[in-house]
């Protein structure tokens, strides 16, 4: 007999099915609740709401577990590169060597932008935030690839996914070059995915930029660690938009917009800006911690806390080790890293943070790595978007493939004015 939950409301008792996930997480299936009781549920911020059944990523925030398709993130990060990880996340299984070669070729084939798309960069002011450019240009891909709009066609999906993974790097690097007034650097087919991105970012006609292999690996690692993170704000956005049967490009573009906010992907930029501010003003660690705790201040320790992880963020552990390695390889002493380490130590020993289960998240160290590599601060979230591309694509596909899919359409509880006349409302303004 399968488990049920009993709810009594308005004098009526109903039994609802309980769904059990692979890792024994339980969820009360409320699909029939409104029909049976007239009630809906209220969950501001969705902290208790499972919005979908998913096979992609498992997170246990209490114990700090993150798995892509069942495999622990530490193992994926150690043994795979970003493209293999992307294929695992999107397709649900590792590729064969032949599949990998074919997909890599498709990535190479698609690395250029249509020339008309390239000239669009001129239309943006050089001061434009690269996240604004990224979201606009990814959406513009819908205009340049109109043959990929048939969302239920698997061959089209495969091509659109490769285009997105490949071109997102080119768009990102072109937006950076445009912002600093340097000529755009085209990708070269012989370079690997991440090396090619660094090449487009830092090569100029007057330099012989060759990325250090350790730097390439650190950035590849960063992409792997960001590849998916189940139903976060941007991924839920992609699914929400995709549920209306919008095409992959425009759905992912909406995800990029959602990622931009500083409570989500914008946090890595906010961490760096916070550390720079502390350094510039010479603030003591004690005063920063005190400000976080001050109820009259809305200051938060950026890069700390997570809606899901209440123990530690497994990605932060891996990134912290990579951060130390890159800095020592590049011979960079970074005062911001020292501040970050002191802040981390102070917070982890402070009851305010301990009681609220606030630990460093992935953004705390990723910004320092990117800074050491030479990535400008306003590009940090763009790099997060490159890394998150497999997760957005996989989640869009999962929504598309759901045989019971309906358009996402939450309800609300109306708390506004009760019915009143037009004249009454006008009188309120005049008084």
In the complex, what is the shortest distance from the CB of residue 283 to ligand ACO, in angstroms, rounded to a whole number? 15
Query: Are residues 34 and 42 in contact, defined by beta-carbon separation less than 8 angstroms?
Result: no
Among 305, 314, 387, 390, binds ligand ACO (CB under 6 A): 305
In the complex, what is the shortest distance from the CB of residue 82 to ligand ACO, in angstroms, rounded to a whole number? 17
Of the two residues 107 and 259, which places its CB atom closer to ligand ACO in the complex? 259
Query: Which class for 322: exposed (0-12), middle (13-18), buried (19 or more C-beta within 10 A)?
Result: buried
Tokens of 287: 């005063």
**What residues contact residue 391 under an 8 Å CB cut-off, 6+ apart?**
56, 57, 89, 226, 227, 228, 229, 235
Using CB under 6 A as the binding rule, whether residue 382 contacts ligand ACO is answered as: no
Binding to ligand ACO, residues 200-219 (CB under 6 A): none
Residue nearest to ligand ACO (CB): 305
Distances in Å between the Cα of 190 and the Cα atoms of 29, 87, 142 are 51, 20, 28
Q: Of these residues, 199, 226, 229, 306, which one is catalytic?
A: 306
| Strand ranges inside 289-373, DSSP E | none
Of the two residues 267 and 322, which places its CB atom closer to ligand ACO in the complex? 267
Of the two residues 306 and 397, which places its CB atom closer to ligand ACO in the complex? 306
Among 100, 158, 307, 317, binds ligand ACO (CB under 6 A): 307
- What x-and-dash track marks residues 156-195 binding ligand ACO by CB under 6 A? ----------------------------------------
Among 303, 314, 367, 390, binds ligand ACO (CB under 6 A): 303
* CA 69 to mean position of chain CA atoms: 17
Cα gap 298→315, rounded to integer Å:
27
Using CB under 6 A as the binding rule, whether residue 301 contacts ligand ACO is answered as: yes
Among 145, 178, 199, 306, binds ligand ACO (CB under 6 A): 306
Of the two residues 76 and 292, which places its CB atom closer to ligand ACO in the complex? 292
The three-state (H, E, C) secondary structure of 250-283, written as one string: HHHHHHHHHHHCCCCCCHHHHHHHHHHHHHHHCC
Of residues 135, 151, 154, the one with CA closest to residue 382: 135
Residue with tokens 């096979």: 55
End-to-end CA distance of the chain: 64
Among 302, 336, 373, 385, binds ligand ACO (CB under 6 A): 302
Q: Which stretch binds ligand ACO (CB under 6 A): 8-16, 140-148, 156-164, 297-305?
A: 297-305
Element (H, E) at 98: helix 97-109
Of the two residues 77 and 185, which places its CB atom closer to ligand ACO in the complex? 77
Among 81, 111, 344, 363, binds ligand ACO (CB under 6 A): 363
Active site residue 228: no
* φ and ψ at residue 399, rounded to 5 degrees: -65, -45
Count residues binding ligand ACO (CB under 6 A).
Answer: 18
Of the two residues 93 and 356, which places its CB atom closer to ligand ACO in the complex? 356
Of the two residues 358 and 379, which places its CB atom closer to ligand ACO in the complex? 358
Active site residue 214: no
* CA 168 to mean position of chain CA atoms: 14
Of residues 150, 90, 158, the one with CA closest to residue 392: 90
In the complex, what is the shortest distance from the CB of residue 266 to ligand ACO, in angstroms, rounded to a whole number? 8
**What residues contact residue 366 under an 8 Å CB cut-off, 6+ apart?**
222, 225, 268, 319, 380, 384
Of the two residues 218 and 301, which places its CB atom closer to ligand ACO in the complex? 301
Among 164, 198, 362, 383, binds ligand ACO (CB under 6 A): 362
Tokens of 336: 């911001």
Among 217, 300, 317, 341, binds ligand ACO (CB under 6 A): 300
Using CB under 6 A as the binding rule, whether residue 361 contacts ligand ACO is answered as: yes
Of the two residues 15 and 294, which places its CB atom closer to ligand ACO in the complex? 294
In the complex, what is the shortest distance from the CB of residue 222 to ligand ACO, in angstroms, rounded to a whole number? 12
Binding to ligand ACO, residues 249-278 (CB under 6 A): 263-265, 267
Query: Are residues 47 and 33 in contact, defined by beta-carbon separation less than 8 angstroms?
Result: no
- What x-and-dash track marks residues 341-360 binding ligand ACO by CB under 6 A? ---------------x-x--
Where in the sequence numbering do the catalytic residues fall?
306, 363
Site for ligand ACO, rule CB under 6 A: 263-265, 267, 292, 300-307, 356, 358, 361-363
């Amino acid at each position: 007999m399968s488990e049920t939950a009993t709810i009594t409301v308005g004098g009526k008792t109903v039994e609802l099915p309980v769904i059990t996930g692979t890792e024994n997480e339980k969820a009360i299936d409320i699909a029939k609740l409104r029909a049976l009781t007239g009630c809906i549920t209220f969950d501001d911020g969705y902290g208790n709401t499972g919005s979908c059944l998913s096979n992609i990523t498992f997170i246990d925030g209490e114990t700090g577990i993150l798995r892509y398709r069942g495999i622990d993130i530490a193992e994926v990060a150690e043994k795979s590169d970003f493209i293999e990880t992307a294929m695992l996340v999107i397709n649900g299984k590792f590729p064969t060597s032949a599949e990998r070669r074919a997909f890599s070729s498709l990535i190479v084939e698609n690395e250029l932008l249509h020339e008309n798309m390239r000239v669009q960069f001129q239309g943006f002011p050089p001061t434009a935030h690269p996240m604004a450019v990224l979201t606009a240009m990814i959406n513009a891909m819908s205009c340049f690839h109109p043959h990929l709009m048939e969302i239920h066609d698997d061959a089209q999906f495969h091509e659109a996914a490769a285009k997105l993974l490949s071109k997102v790097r080119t768009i990102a690097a072109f937006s950076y070059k445009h912002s600093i007034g340097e000529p755009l650097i085209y990708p070269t087919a012989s370079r690997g995915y991440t090396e090619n991105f660094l090449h487009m970012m830092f090569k100029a006609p007057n330099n012989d930029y060759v990325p250090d292999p350790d730097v390439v690996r650190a950035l590849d690692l960063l992409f792997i660690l960001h590849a998916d993170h189940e139903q976060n704000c941007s991924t839920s956005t992609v699914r929400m938009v995709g549920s209306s049967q919008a095409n992959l490009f425009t759905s992912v573009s909406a995800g990029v917009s959602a990622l931009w906010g500083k409570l989500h992907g914008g946090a890595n930029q906010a961490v760096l800006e916070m550390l720079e501010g502390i350094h510039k003003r010479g603030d003591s660690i004690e005063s920063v911690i005190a400000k976080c705790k001050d109820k009259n201040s809305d200051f938060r320790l950026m890069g700390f806390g997570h809606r899901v992880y209440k123990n530690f963020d497994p990605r932060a552990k891996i990134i912290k080790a990579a951060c130390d390695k890159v800095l020592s390889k590049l011979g960079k002493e970074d005062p911001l890293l020292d501040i970050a380490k002191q802040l981390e130590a102070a917070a982890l020993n402070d009851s305010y943070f301990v009681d609220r289960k606030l630990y460093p998240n992935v953004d705390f160290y990723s910004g320092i790595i990117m800074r050491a590599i030479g990535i400008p601060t306003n590009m940090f979230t763009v790099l997060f978007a490159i890394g998150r591309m497999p997760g957005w694509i996989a989640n869009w596909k999962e929504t598309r493939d759901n045989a019971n899919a309906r358009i996402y359409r939450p309800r609300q509880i109306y708390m506004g004015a009760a019915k009143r006349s037009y004249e009454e409302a006008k009188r309120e303004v005049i008084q």
